[in-house]
Structure 1
Amino acid sequence: MSNENEITAHGLALLSLINHADLNDRGAMLYSLIDGAKFPSLGRLTLPNDDSVTLHSLLGESAQVDAIYAGPVLLRHARGQHCPVLTKLLKQANSAHFLSLIVSDEPFPILFERLRWLTDVVHDDGTEWVMRYYDPLVLPHWLGVLDRAQRAAALGGSRAWVYIDMHGRPHSFGSEKIGDAVAIPSDPMLLSQQQCDELMSKTLPYMVMHQLESDDQHLLSTLSPRDRYAFFSQQLCKASAYGLSSPADLKCYCMLSLMIGAHFDASPVAAEALRQASPDDSFSERILSWTPEQWASLEESDSIL
């Protein structure tokens, strides 16, 4: 386990991928893309006076000052991997959850506008919202739902974009040809309903995990961090197969799978509640009426499955 004076193992893995991108070739620049909502100390980060590190909010000029540090922020590191601010970031124990690194050949104004274009998204029903692609956990799922043209525009000019995935493994992606920049479309980034639904499905496990940890920070401790995404994906698929769809029911189902066991649904008391669940009598409401005897029966049933 690293101390506060050491770069974390995840941080070293990211730097290793950056080194393969060859920052010294053709003036490529290193950037860190930060999810401010997951790094509360961002607003207290001290930058050098020589402009070797500059901070740029991707929310636009209309954003409130207090919102800037809770949104997507791009840091430009003129000293590359030798930047002390980058080193400080990579010493953070949870840096893999709030930071990804970009090596780009593009002039800064063009890269900035490209990332701004990715941030402000229009749904095909006309609504507008901020896309959280800058969250490293969301990043690969978001990229996976983009069509070929959107992906090319997103990665255009990026030599490498590196991050740590949900299993703790380092990954890198970039444009197919180094420096092969694709023009930023004049129209806003548009996502279809199908793309939104697919992205929601892939990121739902993170949302449920966050809700459960907010209720009890120790609730997920029985699972290895590397196994959590797969576990919740499987449990949410099972819950959906039972017809559960409300946030309360999905959260309740996953909570029981953690507390009782992954196969709790096979016990008679749980099977009955799942079979009778309806919009007027939801699964989460039904379990509130369980007696102590039913709870004991549930735990006993799972222990012998």
Structure 2
Amino acid sequence: MTDNPCQPLLDWCRAPAQARLHRFALLDSAPVEGAFRQRPLQGQRFSSLFEGRQEAVLPEIAPLLIDLDSAQDSSLQRLCEWLWSMGLEHPCLSWMASPLPLDALAAHLRLFHTVDLSEGQTMLLRWYDTRILPQWLGCLTPQQHAQFCAPLVSLSCLDRTARVQTFFQDHQAEHIAPLSEPALGRSLVQLDDRQLAQLMQSSQVDILINRLQSLIAPELARVARGRLAAFLQAHVDQLCAAGIDDAERQLQCLLPALYTSGAAWLHPAFASLLQAPPAGFEAFAAAIQALPDEIYAVDLPLWDKEELVGREDAAA
């Protein structure tokens, strides 16, 4: 742990940079409505990625590309502290370096505001949501990836688990002519069905979190966002590996996991169920109901255990 909670971002800003290299933060304002009015951004240079798009009428939720080089000394520290706190609370913060200045890089990133899908559909893509960003970069073809990342030297984010994820650094940015706007009504990138399916996987855990919040919202509120997301992602990965890939059956399994900090899954009866899960929901739900009550007594609920660990850490 460091004394300064924004140390990674602040250190990155203060580290020596290559000549003519600019550093930026990208803040998705959707979960931080009105971010552009917040005091840490006053006097700083930033550009909305909604500019020139239909969504320009929604500045409250616009993604903001922020020129970190425009902040100095104490104002830079305040800005980084604020950005980092937003990124820890919401999946909304990424940062990048580029030889392009603010306006030119913003113009480049706006070209990826939408994507074309099969059957003539177009979808607004919030790739700057850091739950989506890793899947976005992973689903692109090599040509599309090179197109998107061409002007970037480095790219990192605070991901859905509130951990730093660096996609690349010291990348040789290409000196390319600005990309042309696609024809009216068209997008620069077209995703096929396989790419779309890969991209949509990023929403799986979020769908489950929303469902769980409708059942046990007060309890989940006691678990840090990053810890909850990491816990659920690890368990969903296990469920998918066991062939339990639908939200309804996954929900039935995740509740015992949450109420025992994952220990219920180690009980022989639950382990046996995961090895040969019924395919139909009704049969699966009946199998869950038939599990012995003792599986719920093997450990504390995740929220109680988190608070206990927190108190022990504070006392250490």
TM-score (norm 1): 0.73
Q: Distance in 1 between the 2:170 and 2:158 partners?
A: 19
Residue equivalent to 2:257:
257
Residue equivalent to 1:192:
192
Q: Distance in 2 between the 1:176 and 1:244 partners?
A: 39
Q: How does 1:110-149 map to 2 (within 5 A)?
A: 110-149=104-143
User: Which amino acid is the alignment partner of residue 155 of structure 1?
Assistant: C
Which of 24, 30, 34 is 1:31 aligned to? 24
Distance 1:270 1:200, change over 3 A: farther
8 A Cα contact 2:46 2:64, kept in partner: no
CA RMSD in angstroms comes to 4.0
Q: Distance in 2 between the 1:93 and 1:106 partners?
A: 27
Residue equivalent to 2:8:
13
User: SS of 1:40's equivalent?
Assistant: coil
- State the percentage of identical aligned residues: 18
Q: Distance in 2 between the 1:64 and 1:157 partners?
A: 24
User: SS of 1:216's equivalent?
Assistant: helix
8 A Cα contact 1:29 1:103, kept in partner: yes
Residue equivalent to 1:296:
293
Q: 5+ residue gaps in structure 2?
A: 300-316
What is the number of residues matched between the two proteins?
A: 286
Distance 1:172 1:269, change over 3 A: closer
TM-score (norm 2): 0.71
Q: Distance in 1 between the 2:203 and 2:177 partners?
A: 28
Shift of 1:134: 0.8
Residue equivalent to 2:280:
278
Which of 41, 54, 58 is 1:62 aligned to? 54
With 189-198 and 246-255 compared, the bigger mean Cα shift is at 246-255
User: SS of 2:153's equivalent?
Assistant: strand
Shift of 1:48: 3.6
- 1:218 paired with 2:219, answer yes
User: Which amino acid is the alignment partner of residue 280 of structure 2?
Assistant: S
User: SS of 1:133's equivalent?
Assistant: coil
User: Which amino acid is the alignment partner of residue 159 of structure 1?
Assistant: V
User: SS of 1:111's equivalent?
Assistant: helix
Residue equivalent to 2:79:
88
Distance 1:64 1:56, change over 3 A: closer
Distance 1:194 1:154, change over 3 A: same
Q: How does 1:100-111 map to 2 (within 5 A)?
A: 100-111=94-105
Shift of 1:223: 8.3
Shift of 1:100: 1.5
8 A Cα contact 2:46 2:67, kept in partner: yes
User: SS of 2:154's equivalent?
Assistant: strand
8 A Cα contact 2:97 2:152, kept in partner: yes
Q: Distance in 2 between the 1:59 and 1:248 partners?
A: 40
